[in-house]
Amino acid sequence: MNGRTLETFGSCVKYDTISLNPRYQIPKDNIERDKKAALLGEGFYGVVYAAKLKDENGRKIKVAVKEAKKNKSIQVKAIQDEITLLADIGEHEYILQLIGAVTTDAANICMITEFCEFGSLDNFLKKKKETKQFISEIISTAYDNDWTSTYTDPTRYKAKSEPGWSAAYNSRQALGQVTTSDLLAFGYQIASGMIYLHEKNIIHRDLALRNILLKSNFKIKIADFGLSRATSNGVYVPSDRGVYLPNSTAPDGIISLKSDWWMFGVLIWELFELGDNQPFKNMNTINRKKFLEGGRRLEHPIYAPREM
């Protein structure tokens, strides 16, 4: 079914027809927003809020809805691109699932995705740290505080020295506790999702902890594909020289599948800082490049095993 995006030229508005698989097209009237609820998120291109979606059987399911802010042409186009990309990606265990979209009316275009109960991973981990619900399972290491030092023995974990620790995992999760094992699992899931995206030649371009969502079953969902692009050769060259580059972009500034993995490394650093520390804090693009080209790196994350 066809929808339309907006493109502004001076005072004129040009409509570009786009195509979307009919199975993703959802009537606007089927979406019921709770106007009293706070926004789930807000960015340059749009806002995200919780809503109820009436399915074909008349049941109401909780979903997340993303729509453009103020109906500006660049924001409408960005959301349309994200809808198209998610539809092309299809379903994957660790990728935010597109449920449908409203595209027939460009002024009210919106994207409907699965709802992630625990929200963004950075905020989730910050709260766990603040409420002292994070448990480090690292009990000893064979290294000092100098991250450049060598070690002879691997990190030791509670599971190795405390009988029954592993068996009590579900009990800890039921109490709302998060452990080192969970952080490792989150990292593995994110890597699995990125491998899938790259197999489809899709560059995420903004991989960061804030763009990872978490379900109540502790499964992550890679989200926010507003900057993502499909590529045929593994490299993306923006047509706009003023394109936004996240702070975790590789120092050479080249946008590619490889730069996504650079961002993944920075994300892992964020993960083991429990989202409570900003990478390359107070550095602009030039200073960050000098910092890295001078051979310097981010300090070893507080809660990370030495092997990382």
Hey, which residues are catalytic here? 206
CA–CA gap between residue 301 and residue 291 (Å, rounded): 18
164 is in an annotated binding site: no
41 is in an annotated binding site: yes
Of 273, 263, 275, which Cα lies nearest the Cα of 300?
273
Of 122, 103, 129, 72, which Cα lies nearest the Cα of 224?
122
* Residue whose tokens read 């802010």: 69
224 is in an annotated binding site: yes
Relative to beta strand 134-135, strand 178-179 is: parallel
211 is in an annotated binding site: yes
48 is in an annotated binding site: yes
Q: DSSP alpha helices (H): ranges in 99-232? A: 121-130, 158-161, 169-174, 180-199
Q: DSSP alpha helices (H): ranges in 111-256? A: 121-130, 158-161, 169-174, 180-199
272 is in an annotated binding site: no
47 is in an annotated binding site: yes
145 is in an annotated binding site: no
Q: What phi and psi, each to the nearest 5 degrees, are found at residue 80?
A: -60, -45
User: Which three-class secondary structure state does DSSP give residue 272?
Assistant: coil
265 is in an annotated binding site: no
60 is in an annotated binding site: no
- Residues contributing to the annotated binding site: 41-48, 66, 210-211, 224
- Residues contributing to the annotated binding site for ATP: 41-48, 66, 210
- Residues contributing to the annotated binding site for Mg(2+): 211, 224
